[in-house]
A and B are shown apart, each in its own frame.
Chain A
Amino acid sequence: SAVISQKPSRDICQRGTSLTIQCQVDSQVTMMFWYRQQPGQSLTLIATANQGSEATYESGFVIDKFPISRPNLTFSTLTVSNMSPEDSSIYLCSVETPGVGAGVYGYTFGSGTRLTVV
Chain B
Amino acid sequence: DAKTTQPNSMESNEEEPVHLPCNHSTISGTDYIHWYRQLPSQGPEYVIHGLTSNVNNRMASLAIAEDRKSSTLILHRATLRDAAVYYCILRDRGGSNYKLTFGKGTLLTVNP
Contacts and interface: CB of A to CB of B under 8 A. Distances in A.
Interface of A: 1, 4, 31, 33, 35, 42-45, 48, 92, 94, 96, 100-101, 103-112
B43 A110 contact: yes
Contacts of A42: 85, 87, 102-105
Interface residue SS majority, chain B? loop
A44 B102 contact: yes
A107 B87 contact: no
Contacts, number: 53
Interface string B71-105: 00000000000000101000001000011111111
B31 to A, nearest CB: 12
B49 A109 contact: no
A108 B46 contact: yes
Contacts of A105: 98
A44 B87 CA distance: 13
Interface of B: 32, 34, 36, 41-46, 49, 85, 87, 93, 98-105
A101 B49 contact: yes
Contacts of A1: 46
A104 B49 contact: yes
Given A106-B49, A109-B43, 20 more contacts: A1-B46, A42-B85, A42-B87, A42-B103, A42-B105, A43-B102, A45-B100, A48-B99, A94-B43, A94-B100, A100-B46, A101-B49, A104-B32, A106-B34, A106-B46, A107-B46, A107-B100, A111-B43, A112-B41, A112-B42
A64 B2 CA distance: 30
Contact of A33 (B42, B85, B87, B99): B99
